[in-house]
Every structure is written in structure tokens, then in C-alpha cells.
Amino acid sequence: MIIMTQKSLYDDNDRLILEKCTLCPKECRINRFKGGTGYCGIDAGFNIASICVHRGEEPYISGMNGICNIFFAGCNLRCLYCQNHEISRSGSVGRNGKMLLDNVLDQIEEILSKGITSVGFVSPSHVVPQVRVIIRGLNLRGLKPITVYNTNSYDKPEVLRSLSGLIDVYLPDYKYCTPEIASEYSDGYDYPLVALKALKEMYYQKGSALRVNENGIAENGLLIRHLVLPGHVNESKSVLRSIAEELSPDVHLSLMSQYHPTSVVKDNPLLCRSLYNEEYDAVVEMMESLGFRNGWIQDMGSNKNYRPDFSKENPFE
């Protein structure tokens, strides 16, 4: 009975995808209506670790009041250093666990009623059908928030194409250019190729412009994030070069220094420490020399502000 209810929420195409899942490049081909045994560990339901106000995103994303972020459990990558590892690892469904669509919509509606205007879908690549259902459900309630797709970029271009018109702002990571590094740190040898294709699709849909409204909140466009990792300045430089050459130096960029080692990487020879000032400065210099002018750099102290605790009602407060 529950399975039937879930199936009826999805349109025909999403139902077919979820029955033999090829949603993301992992292509597990499992039936997610019969349990989440794919790589991401998540079935066809609403496995959400937290729906909360988040004030720590880039200024144009959070605005003055914050964004209503939906943190999905599970992930289609396994980044060793993930700050959200409590909820992203396979099988962990977080504090909220499995939710009914109405509960999801109620929680979002309550947050939006406090004057927050954007909804962020965090780690959505393995739950795009659920994202579509949530947006449709909000619209049916007369709510049209700014929608932000906050992704690791391990997305198929055709899936992103299906979101055209539904997503207002793409907020993708671009983590690495080198397959060996992607394989070692994120269990995704093909990540560089996949991510670049995904970024090109987002760029095709949005271009370089990031349209900001009168309240200083991005309401349409593309903002690419790159987290500089300790000991990997050259990789970061290659990532920036790739964006400049394959997309444009006019795109908006968020160059992040906030890396903080979790307990999972305490014994890793490179990832066991925070970033050095000179490492970040070298990447910023490269960013400037490539002609990037739009976007943000971070304070070196900001790594203290991004350590969520998903056992709390608001993991960031």
C-alpha cells in the first residue's frame, strides 16, 4: 500500500527511472520502490535528515534571513572528507528519517512563512524525482520560492535538462579534474568527466549571469563552488583553468577555504589538517590571473563555522 502511494506521486518518466534506477552515473538498475540497495542507499521515499534555516551559504544564496535548506540523506559519491558524513553515508537517514510528502511540505511552508524566500536542495543528484515532486507540491500550495540546486555535480546532463524551468539557481561543486584524485577521495574515477558535462549543461541553461533581486538574493543563474583541499593547490589551479577554458571566466565562483578534517580522515597524510594561508592565497592568485571577477573568496577562519551536527534540530546553530 505504501509503495503504491509513493509510486503515484511520480510522473511516468520518473517512475520508470526509479523502478530500474539509472538516475545518476552509477546506474545501479535497482528498483527503488522495493528498497534502497543502490550505491546511494536511498529508496524512492523522502529520506531527509534536516529541513532548516541555513545562514552560512554565500551572501547571495542565504541573504539576510537565510535559506530553507533540505538536507537529503545518502549520496551518490563517497567523499572521504565530507562535512555531512553523518547523513551522506549509505543507509543513514538522519534525524528525521523517512518522511511523508505532506510533512516535508508543511515544514518548508512553515519556514517560508517567516519571510524566507529560497529553498535549497542539498545533495539532490540521487533524489531528483523527489525534488520535482516537492517543487510541484509547493506550487500546488501557491508557493513559488526561489529554487536552488546545491549539487556535487555528479549528475547526468539529461537529468539536469529535465530540471530546466524548475530550478532557478544552480549551485554546483567542481571538486577535481584528475580522475585518480577523484577516485581516491570520492570513489568516482569518472567524476571529472561527468562534472564537466554537468557544468556545461548548467551553463547552457543559465549562462554566466547571476541575477540578484532587490533583497540581495540570487534568483536565477549559476554559481560554481570549489573547495581548496590541503596539499592540492595544483589540482585547484587545474579546476579553475578548466572552468575558464571550458565555460568562461565570467561565471560566478565561490572559492572556499573552509575545509576542516573530520574524524574520518584523521590519519590521512594530506587531508588530516586545515588549509594553510599560503595554499589558499596561491589559488586566489590563480583565480585573479585567469580573469575571474565575479564571486567570493572566504576568510581563513571560516572553517570553524561549517561543522554541522545533524543530531540537532538545526544542525548549524
What residue ranges bind ligand SF4 (CB under 6 A)?
21-24, 26-28, 30, 38-40, 76, 126
Would you say 78 or 241 has its CB closer to ligand SF4? 78
Distance, CA of 122 to chain centre = 4
What is the enclosing helix (H) or strand (E) of 151? strand 146-151
Would you say 10 or 316 has its CB closer to ligand SF4? 10
- What percent of the residues of the chain are helix, what percent strand, and what percent coil, each to the nearest 5? 35, 15, 45
Would you say 33 or 39 has its CB closer to ligand SF4? 39
Would you say 12 or 214 has its CB closer to ligand SF4? 12
Q: Nearest to ligand SF4 by Cβ — which residue?
A: 38
- Helix intervals (H) in the chain: 2-9, 12-19, 59-62, 85-88, 101-112, 128-140, 157-161, 179-186, 191-206, 233-242, 277-289
The CB-of-263 to ligand SF4 minimum distance in angstroms stands at 25
The CB-of-18 to ligand SF4 minimum distance in angstroms stands at 8
CB 139 within 8 Å of CB 172:
no
Would you say 40 or 108 has its CB closer to ligand SF4? 40
CB 54 within 8 Å of CB 131:
no
Would you say 155 or 168 has its CB closer to ligand SF4? 155
CB 239 within 8 Å of CB 255:
no
The CB-of-67 to ligand SF4 minimum distance in angstroms stands at 24
The CB-of-31 to ligand SF4 minimum distance in angstroms stands at 10
Which residue is associated with the grid cell 577555504?
A: 257
CB 308 within 8 Å of CB 265:
no
The CB-of-256 to ligand SF4 minimum distance in angstroms stands at 25
The CB-of-26 to ligand SF4 minimum distance in angstroms stands at 4
